Amino acid sequence: MRKTFFTVAVVLISMQIKAQQTIPDADTQIKLAILAAPTDKREGAKVYGYAADGTFKILRNGTNDFVCIGDDPKKEDISVSCYLAELEPFMERGRVLTKEGKNAKQIFDMREQEVKEGKLTMPKQPSTLFALSGAKDKYDAAAGTLKDGYLRYVVYIPYATSESTGLPLKPDVPGMPWIMDPGTHRAHIMINPAKP
């Protein structure tokens, strides 16, 4: 029994040490996360990231209307995003449901129902999310720069349709805006700039 307890303790300690070695400090995470935001929104954005033990937490409280999500250190490539703070209830609900083990369809259906019931609020005006991705080996932590990063845009317009916006349901050419999930709480314009 003691041997088993000792083995478990050693494994847990080694996992914690490994997590501490692979999770960047808060300042490094913040510098990377805010790269997704427009330059005039970076300084005051609220930033979520990861504690040394791997838990998701607020790294910096914000002073403006933007929220940024840091890179998940467990994932191979870099992926950070920033969005208008009015989207936070929608995003937070998604994080909670994900943590509860719900799949993408369940999350979509539950949030759709909650919005219809008035339990979950969505912005009344178009609200933008900026998503930046790239390779970890292209990120210079000291300079706070990501070489060859790819920035795309999502503009949430709840219950908008192709007919109400004039947007197609898929892009005809790279970079063309199009509408995804039309007629639902999660209706949004996708803008994926053409890659060089």
117, 154 Cβ separation under 8 angstroms: no
Tell me whether residue 127 is in a domain: no
Total number of domains constituting the chain: 1
pLDDT at 169: 97
Tell me whether residue 139 is in a domain: no
Tell me whether residue 100 is in a domain: yes
Range of the domain at 42: 2-122
Structure token digits, residue 8: 């478990």
What is the 3-state secondary structure of 125-165?
Answer: CCEEEEEEEECHHHEECCCCEECCCEEEEEEECCCCCHHHH
Task: Give the pTM.
Answer: 0.85
Tell me whether residue 11 is in a domain: yes
pLDDT at 1: 52
Ramachandran bin of 84, using left for φ above 0, alpha for ψ from -120 to 50, beta for the remaining angles: beta
Sheet holding 188-191, edge to edge: 56-60, 46-50, 66-69, 78-84, 127-134, 150-156, 188-191, 178-180
Tell me whether residue 20 is in a domain: yes
Tell me whether residue 50 is in a domain: yes
Tell me whether residue 69 is in a domain: yes
Tell me whether residue 95 is in a domain: yes
10-residue mean pLDDT series, the chain (196 residues): 48 44 88 97 97 95 97 94 97 96 97 97 96 95 91 97 97 96 98 90
Identify the helix (H) or strand (E) that includes residue 97. Answer: helix 88-99
